Amino acid sequence: MTKNEKKSLNQCLAEWKLFIYNPTTGEFLGRTAKSWGLILLFYLVFYGFLAALFSFTMWVMLQTLNDEVPKYRDQIPSPGLMVFPKPVTALEYTFSVSDPTSYAGYIADLKKFLKPYTLEEQKNLTTCPDGALFEQKGPVYVACQFPLLLLQACSGMSDPNFGYSKGKPCILVKMNRIIGLKPEGVPRIDCVLKNEDQTNITTYPHNGMIDLKYFPYYGKKLHVGYLQPLVAVQVTLAPNSAEKEVTVECKIDGSPNLKSLDDRDKFLGRVMFKITAHA
């Protein structure tokens, strides 16, 4: 069989040519114009129908959703921690105290991030009672103020360079927003230095406290202007040495329902980052 099927190149070409266009039957790619018309029409109708059907079922599915609160929140029972400024790759901050351009990006990022926290932005927000969950019944939900002053040295108000120029860089730690989350106990962010004891670490507000009044969160649509509480970490690098590298780990503490120990999720209730400062 195989021997017979081995045709010369010319024959092969001719066959292909005939397949692409056959002048005797008027077939193009094995079908006549009419046949092509029919088949294309069929697929047009068929796929049109399928598209309409899919759109319809999607629409029905979307009708089951609530625009304010997601139907299920089981996949995010506990918040993750994230730091600012957002480093480009991995969680590593590298800068040189003497070179302002090396940390200009970080400062810009921080400023951008803290923009909603400026006084002007916050003037419409409510001052809420401290130390207790701020539960609301709606229909209008108000957001609590988060005075930037709480961040003290890292608020950017006293030091527009957030300490980078002095070798005391500020890193903001924030807890991920989760709708309806009600932390128990007295949650705080606890930061420790790994393998380093010469450097100091300061958290603002004092002790890294997170006030319960910022919880629960009612969702982007209802809870307009919501500001999540922040904790600033200021690492004071020893001024004497030329190059410093420290690793900081922050985790949520003091609240039994906020997890911070998960084998797989390294950001659930904790965050680890590295700061490398050159002279």
Site for another protein in 162-201 (CB under 8 A): 174, 176-179
Total site size for another protein, rule CB under 8 A: 54
Site string for another protein, 120-159 (x = CB under 8 A): ----------------------------------------
User: CB-side exposure of 59: number of CA atoms within 13 Å?
Assistant: 6
Kindly state the smallest distance separating residue 18's Cβ from another protein, in Å.
18
Residue 212 sits at φ, ψ, to 5 deg, of -70, -15
Q: Which span (96-104, 134-142, 197-205, 216-224) binds another protein, by CB under 8 A?
A: 216-224
Token pair 């120990």 is found at 261
Site string for another protein, 79-118 (x = CB under 8 A): xxxx---xx-xxx---------------------------
Q: What is the rounded distance in angstroms from the CA atom of residue 95 to the CA atom of residue 108?
A: 14
User: CB-side exposure of 87: number of CA atoms within 13 Å?
Assistant: 17
> Which residues, other chains included, contact 99 with Cβ-Cβ below 8 Å and sequence gap of 6+?
278
Q: What is the spatial order of strands in the sheet that 92-96 belongs to?
A: 92-96, 270-278, 244-253, 188-194
Structure tokens belonging to residue 74: 């089981």
Site for another protein in 46-65 (CB under 8 A): 46-47, 50, 53-54, 57-58, 61-62, 64-65
Q: In terms of CB distance, is 91 or 97 closer to another protein?
A: 91
